[in-house]
């Protein structure tokens, strides 16, 4: 077995960080310490980071700053969002890019990058629109896309409210009224056609919440600003897995409800998920599933 040379510390910060100047790279820039941030890698090999939870923090605090790290220059760039905590979103118009648009502060959101280098972000636990003089936080169901070339966010789908139940519609049929329920800890990826996929997480089903096992596809080319399709899984929470026979596909096979699972799409467009947290009784699982499109 080949043994690598080990870890190399590329940047180090146990301080509040240093934002520097917006959209200006510098060797002195570094994000503040945090956990549960969303992350991506783009087609050029740059690392991206959004939001998360300050560490240490005993409060309900979240970031909405977007960072890019260039491993060649070894420099961080603060690209978007605020250098303050608990910022409210600016949604703008659904499906329309604008320099003022920005997702609200959040943690445990789902994220991925598509083949064109756009960054996708869904849900999490975070801040909704401004309330009556106080910060309101909960589970989110908004879908965002960030174009690194234009430097603009687009609110692509979902609601701008907290803790919303899902609108499943008819399984396998795209519709403008379909929307996944608010959730955090879901798996996400994009396919070779540029569609965004979402699986499971802890959140809201049709009338109640828990660990979900629903699979969703968002096609940005349908309708005026894209449409969701409920592809597979249940419209209820806390479903038990139906394993069937290992390595044998069957329509009745389905992973059970779970959150904090890992997900990928392969070169053929098939979807893979691994493990996750089932519930407080059974804890974590180590099952590997493939979904054949």
Successive 10-residue mean pLDDT values, the chain, 293 residues: 56 74 96 92 92 75 96 97 93 95 96 91 88 68 95 94 95 96 95 92 93 96 93 95 94 94 87 86 87 86
User: Is 236 domain-assigned?
Assistant: yes
Q: Which two tokens stand for residue 183?
A: 């959730």
User: Is 51 domain-assigned?
Assistant: no
User: Is 244 domain-assigned?
Assistant: yes
User: Is 127 domain-assigned?
Assistant: yes
User: Is 152 domain-assigned?
Assistant: yes
The number of distinct structural domains making up the chain is 1
Quote the CA–CA distance of 270 and 204 in Å, as a whole number.
26
pTM: 0.90
104-125 in b/e burial notation, b at 16+ Cβ within 10 A?
bbbbbbbbbbbeeebbbbbbbb
User: Is 82 domain-assigned?
Assistant: no
Residues above pLDDT 70, as percent of the chain = 90
User: Is 77 domain-assigned?
Assistant: no
From the CB of residue 10, how many other CB atoms can be counted at a distance below 10 Å?
9
Distances (CA, A) of 230 to 185, 190, 221, 227, 234: 18, 16, 16, 10, 9
Look up the domain containing 139 and give its range. Answer: 87-101+108-291
Would you state the pLDDT for residue 38?
A: 95
Would you state the pLDDT for residue 257?
A: 94
């Amino acid at each position: 077995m080949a043994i690598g040379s080990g870890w190399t510390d590329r940047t180090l910060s146990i301080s509040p960080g240093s934002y520097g100047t917006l959209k200006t790279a510098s060797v002195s820039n570094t994000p503040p310490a945090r956990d549960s941030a969303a992350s991506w890698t783009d087609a050029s090999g740059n690392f991206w980071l959004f939001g998360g939870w300050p560490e240490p923090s005993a409060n309900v605090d979240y970031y909405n700053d977007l960072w890019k790290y260039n491993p060649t220059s070894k420099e961080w760039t603060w690209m978007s969002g605020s250098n303050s905590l608990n910022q409210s979103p600016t949604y703008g118009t659904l499906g329309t890019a604008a320099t003022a648009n920005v997702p609200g502060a959040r943690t445990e959101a789902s994220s991925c990058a598509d083949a064109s280098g756009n960054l996708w972000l869904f849900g999490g636990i975070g801040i909704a629109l401004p309330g009556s003089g106080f910060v309101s936080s909960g589970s989110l169901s908004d879908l965002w896309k960030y174009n690194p070339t234009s430097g603009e966010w687009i609110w692509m789908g979902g609601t701008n409210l907290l803790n919303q139940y899902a609108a499943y519609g008819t399984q396998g049929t795209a519709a403008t009224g379909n929307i996944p329920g608010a959730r955090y800890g879901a798996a996400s990826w994009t396919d070779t056609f540029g569609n965004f996929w979402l699986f499971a997480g802890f959140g809201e089903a049709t009338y109640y919440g828990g660990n979900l096992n629903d699979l969703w596809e968002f096609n940005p080319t349908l309708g005026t600003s894209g449409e969701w399709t409920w592809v597979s899984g249940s419209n209820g929470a806390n479903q038990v897995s139906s394993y069937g026979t290992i390595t044998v596909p069957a329509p009745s096979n389905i992973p059970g409800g779970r959150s904090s699972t890992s997900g990928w799409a392969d070169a053929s467009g098939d979807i893979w998920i691994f493990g996750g947290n089932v519930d407080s009784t059974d804890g974590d699982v180590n099952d590997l599933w493939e979904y054949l499109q």
